Amino acid sequence: MARSKRDFLSLLDFSPEELKEITRRGSELRSADHQPQTLTGKSAVLIFQLNSTRTRVAFEVGMKQLGGHAVILSPADSQLGRGEPIEDMARVLSEMVDVVIIRTSSQSLLEQFAAASSIPVINAMSERYHPCQLLADIQTFEELKGPIEGKTVSFVGDGYNMCNSYINAALQWGFHLKIASPEGYLPDPELVKSTNNVEVAGSAEQAVKGADLVVTDVWSSMGHEGEEDTRTEVFEPFQVNERLLDHAGNDVLFMHCLPAHRGEEVSETLLEDPRSVVFQEAGNRLHSQKALLEFLLNSD
């Protein structure tokens, strides 16, 4: 019997075993000589209300590599948010395609859309979570260092959607997460309390001490562009640079979801440091998202 449709709005929508299988499969697809045609005849719609390079290209190319097809809707092309009820659009697209992938500044819009849709809905980033990025990050860590379970991860920077997804990931993959954010930019305390695996550190140095992986994100995410001047001042002690990484474990890795602002949340040279794996991480967006699509569209 076919299972009912699944959505991927946050990492908590899947079990730890399912997430591990997706990242394992992502690595398998990364090293495959020929891409399997597992999505032949399948179609995806991508609705991007906010800009994207990596996420959008990874889904579009990923669908194509596996034999499927993707239709891209930019804010100018789509009726979403222009008066047509969200539920109507969800029901219409459910009649036409196999999966809907949405980037929006509203997690509640995603949830409303998914509730009315009879096909899977994927969160391609919202103001609350960025679960697709975490699939690539964990896949990359495990390709280079083995299982992340039991390791120490440090998130330094804005307690926003990437940090929130790392909190979810700490629970799902069983690693210890240490967070350092400026006062006023800490993650949601309720989310922090949702798992015993998360600790808020007093400084960036304390957060990275002994870390196996250090992660950061831009100081002003999409939607906060007008706050750049204020944020630059308060985030300055939280820049990730070579000196900060020296406080971490000997074979620490550094990741950033990109785009990065050199001279702000990272030093001018950090992305070229041997500890940085940001380009393998970015490339794995393609393979982990293919594995996600296979999981959602082919698991009967």
54 binds ligand CP (CB under 6 A): yes
289 binds ligand CP (CB under 6 A): no
* CA proximity to 137, closest of 104, 108, 182, 168: 168
30 is catalytic: no
133 is catalytic: yes
Q: CA-to-CA distance for 112 and 11, rounded, in angstroms?
A: 18
Contact with ligand CP (CB under 6 A) among 70, 100, 153, 257: 257
Which segment (15-23, 50-58, 94-102, 263-271) binds ligand CP by CB under 6 A? 50-58
The three-state secondary structure class of 54 is helix
The DSSP H or E segment spanning 88 is helix 86-96
Which of these is catalytic: 158, 217, 239, 289? 217
Contact with ligand CP (CB under 6 A) among 10, 49, 55, 284: 55
Find the farthest-apart pair of alpha carbons in the chain and give their distance in angstroms, rounded. 57
The three-state secondary structure class of 9 is coil
Which of these is catalytic: 133, 139, 172, 239? 133
Q: CA-to-CA distance for 300 and 298, rounded, in angstroms?
A: 6
| Binding to ligand CP in span 118-137, by CB under 6 A | 125, 133
Which of these is catalytic: 25, 56, 128, 130? 130
The DSSP H or E segment spanning 168 is helix 161-173
224 is catalytic: no
Q: CA-to-CA distance for 208 and 240, rounded, in angstroms?
A: 10
Min. distance of Cβ 162 from ligand CP in angstroms?
8
Task: Summarize the chain as % helix, strand, coil (round to 5).
Answer: 45, 15, 40
* CA proximity to 108, closest of 99, 116, 96: 116
For residue 259, say if its preceding peptide bond is cis, omega within 30 degrees of 0: yes
Min. distance of Cβ 254 from ligand CP in angstroms?
15
285 is catalytic: yes
52 binds ligand CP (CB under 6 A): yes
By beta-carbon proximity to ligand CP, the closer residue of 55 and 284 is 55
Bridge-based pairing of strands 121-123 and 99-103 is parallel
256 binds ligand CP (CB under 6 A): no
Min. distance of Cβ 58 from ligand CP in angstroms?
8
By beta-carbon proximity to ligand CP, the closer residue of 117 and 221 is 221
Please report, as ranges, the residues that interact with ligand CP according to CB under 6 A.
52-55, 125, 133, 257-258
Active site residues: 103, 130, 133, 217, 257, 285
